[in-house]
């Protein structure tokens, strides 16, 4: 997901997306351990998106961003 698309999310959507991405990362790491992972770059991009979502969540918490919901 592009960073400009992430900026349009509200706090509820961020939490939902964060939970989905963390679960997907866990599944990818499991596939990696079982040597069944086809595209290892997915892990890199998923970690990056998780970090971006956590940053947005933190910005909402400390008041840098406006609360949309």
For the chain, the straight-line distance linking the first and the last C-alpha, in angstroms and rounded, comes to: 21
| 6 within 8 A of 56, measured Cβ to Cβ | yes
Beta-carbon contacts of 10 under 8 Å, excluding residues fewer than 6 positions away, are 67, 68, 69
CA 19 to chain centre: 8
Domain positions in the chain are 3-62
Torsion over CA of 57, 62, 67 and 69, rounded to 10 degrees? Answer: 60
- Give the pLDDT of residue 5: 82
pLDDT tens for the chain, 69 residues long, are 777 888 888 899 999 999 999 999 999 999 999 999 999 999 999 999 999 999 999 999 998 887 655
CATH classification of 3-62 is 1.10.287, yes or no?
Answer: yes
């Amino acid at each position: 997901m592009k960073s400009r698309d992430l900026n349009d999310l509200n706090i509820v959507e961020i939490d939902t997306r964060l939970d989905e991405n963390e679960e997907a990362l866990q599944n990818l790491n499991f596939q990696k351990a079982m040597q069944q992972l086809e595209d290892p770059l997915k892990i890199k991009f998923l970690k990056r998106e998780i970090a971006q979502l956590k940053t947005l969540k933190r910005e909402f918490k400390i008041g840098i961003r406006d609360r949309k919901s």
